[in-house]
Amino acid sequence: MHELGIAFHIISEVDKIAEENNGVEVKSVTLEIGEVSTVVPKYLEDVWYWACEHKSTHLKNCKLNIVVTKAISFCNSCQKTYSTLEGKKCPNCGSEDTFLVEGNQTKIKSIEVV
């Protein structure tokens, strides 16, 4: 269960930030998850409230917002970008000399505190 570890990690990061802000209560956490990151948003949502309840100090009843960002690859042969979901092979010219530009990240974008 990959997402549980990620949830614990996010919670501990956010708890630290809450401490730095005089122990405020965190109302929501907004994450940005890339289309080809290894995190499945649905699974993260499933474990979120349980993890907040059991592992956090400042995130009781904290809402989770997830923004999924597009994954983009770049083709060295034709110098064009395309959606990574199309695969390793460039849909424009058929070359396999391509690499991921963005879309494998998981980021804590912002939090709302009271």
Partner 1 sequence: MSEVRTILLNRSIADSIEEEAEELRQELKKRKIFLLNVMSSPGSGKTTTLIRLVNLLKDKYRIAIMEADIDSDVDAITVARETGVKSIQLHTGGMCHLDGSMTRQGLEALDGEYDFVILENIGNLVCPAEFDTGASMNMVILSVPEGSDKPLKYPLMFEKSDLVLINKIDTLEYFDFDYNIVENFIFNRNKNAVIFKISAKNGTGVEEVSKHLSSLIDKWRS
User: Which residues are near partner 1 by CB under 8 A?
Assistant: 1-2, 4-6, 9-10, 12-13, 17, 21, 27, 38, 105-114
Closest CB 2 distance from partner 1, rounded Å: 5
- The smaller minimum CB distance to partner 1, of residues 53 and 80, is found at 53
- If one counts every other C-beta atom within 10 angstroms of the C-beta of residue 66, the result is 17
Q: How far is residue 47's CA from residue 31's CA, in Å, rounded to a whole number?
A: 15
- The smaller minimum CB distance to partner 1, of residues 5 and 94, is found at 5
Closest CB 40 distance from partner 1, rounded Å: 12
- The smaller minimum CB distance to partner 1, of residues 4 and 78, is found at 4
What is the SS3 assignment for 102?
strand
DSSP E strand boundaries for the chain: 26-34, 63-69, 72-75, 81-83, 98-102, 106-113
- The two tokens of residue 83 are 């959606």
Closest CB 92 distance from partner 1, rounded Å: 25
Closest CB 21 distance from partner 1, rounded Å: 7
CA distances from 57 to 39, 41, 78, 101, 110 (A): 24, 23, 51, 36, 18
- The smaller minimum CB distance to partner 1, of residues 72 and 108, is found at 108
